[in-house]
Amino acid sequence: MEQTWRWFGPPDAVQLSHIRQTGATGIVTALHHIPYGVVWSVQEIEKRKAEIAADPSLGLRWSVVESLPIHESIKIGEGDLTVLFDNYRQSLRNLAQCGITTVCYNFMPVVDWTRTELAHPLPGGGTALRFNLHEFAAFDCFMLKRSGAEAEYAPEVLARARTWFDRSSESDRSKLLANIMAGLPGAYDRYDIPGLRVVLDRYREIDAAALRENLARFLREVIPAAEEVGIRMCIHPDDPPRPLMGLPRIVSNENDLAFILGAVDAPANGLTLCSGSLGAGPTNDVPAIARRFASRIWFAHLRNVAKDPDGSFMEADHLGGDTDMVALVTVLLEEQKRRKDAGDPRWRIPMRPDHGHELLDDVGKPTHPGYPAIGRLKGLAELRGVMTAVSALRDLPL
């Protein structure tokens, strides 16, 4: 698999030279400064490519776009969407013109990946991302005060949420709001409580069926254009794979993925296999899901989570947690061999070590939450070892 690394552009504290030291050669990035719904011009794409290639000795290339974000109006199905669809298609054409042909995106409403703790303490002083359901319930029920929210949580979770809220200070509550808003990208908007209520109100009439149809409409609009120029679109699963704040989530399990890939049954309509997002779902068998949809996996995020019975989870070591990473890597390497044997020139699946613990000298550095250098380096090294061993034992191409 092509070993890649997420980079948030020139402001990223993890520099391109650091990325090369990890052994990764592919860069996963986006034009974060361009507002949602606006065309990515050839000039802006080439500028980012030039930044990545500025030092030829690093041998880096822009391998995957993550993400080309979808405007909220498309998710809601609101108003005349002609210009937004036209702009998205033009961005795809421009990316293809510049030689970038793998595009990761998501269809999560309002918020992206969501955690309640960004620095859960680990033994020895490191930190991890964590989602505590009772803290999220406290936010949803007692800070946001969403109508009907309390009925959506188990009694024991609600009781813990009430206890947390009653004991919390204003500082605790402000920190919880900031943590929940921290998922990047594509949610760069930051809301206070009143602002969040306003944006949630736009979804008042949108249930899972309506959101699913809006996604299918998006696919019908853009996949033919992607197919025409050789772009492989790959949808990212919901993180976590459960409704949040009354917002439906429709990319959460095997049935969801079957619907999406069948909505427009074309190779350009593919999947980002995120083992952490899917792995947080209590009924999701991630290696089995990967095996079923292997032929449509164009990108892989490899990380692990350890789940609690109440629906909480913590980001574990890349080879720890609840997902059998050896089994999953085997599925992906076997799919690569199938593609190579079939003569597909793009047979390698780009992968990246997704998220990582904050460790050693990275503790306290101004990196994006979940994206420190050392924790991801550790994860990539572990995953590289698994890939190398499985490849040697099963005679599968790396």
Which residues are catalytically annotated? 236, 274, 301, 354-355, 371
Residues 6+ apart with CB under 8 A from 200: 110, 146, 245, 246, 247
Q: In the structure encoding, which two tokens stand for residue 169, read together? A: 């200070």
189 contacts 202 by C-beta, under 8 angstroms: no
What is the residue-wise DSSP string for 225-268? HHHHHT-EEEEPPPSSSS-BTTB---SSSHHHHHHHHHHT-STT
Question: Given CA atoms 278, 378, 381, 103 in this order, what sign does their dihedral have?
Answer: positive
For 161, the token pair is: 């949420």
Write out the two tokens for 52.
């990545």
Q: d(Cα 6, Cα 11) in Å, to the nearest integer?
A: 13
Both structure tokens of 18: 């650091």
Which residue, chain included where needed, has tokens 């802006």? 44
Handedness of CA 185, 191, 197, 201 (dihedral sign): negative
Terminal Cα-to-Cα distance of the chain (whole angstroms): 5
221/86 Cα distance (integer angstroms): 9
Taking each helix axis as running N to C, give the angle between helix 208-229 and helix 82-97, from 0 to 180 degrees, rounded to the nearest 10. Answer: 40
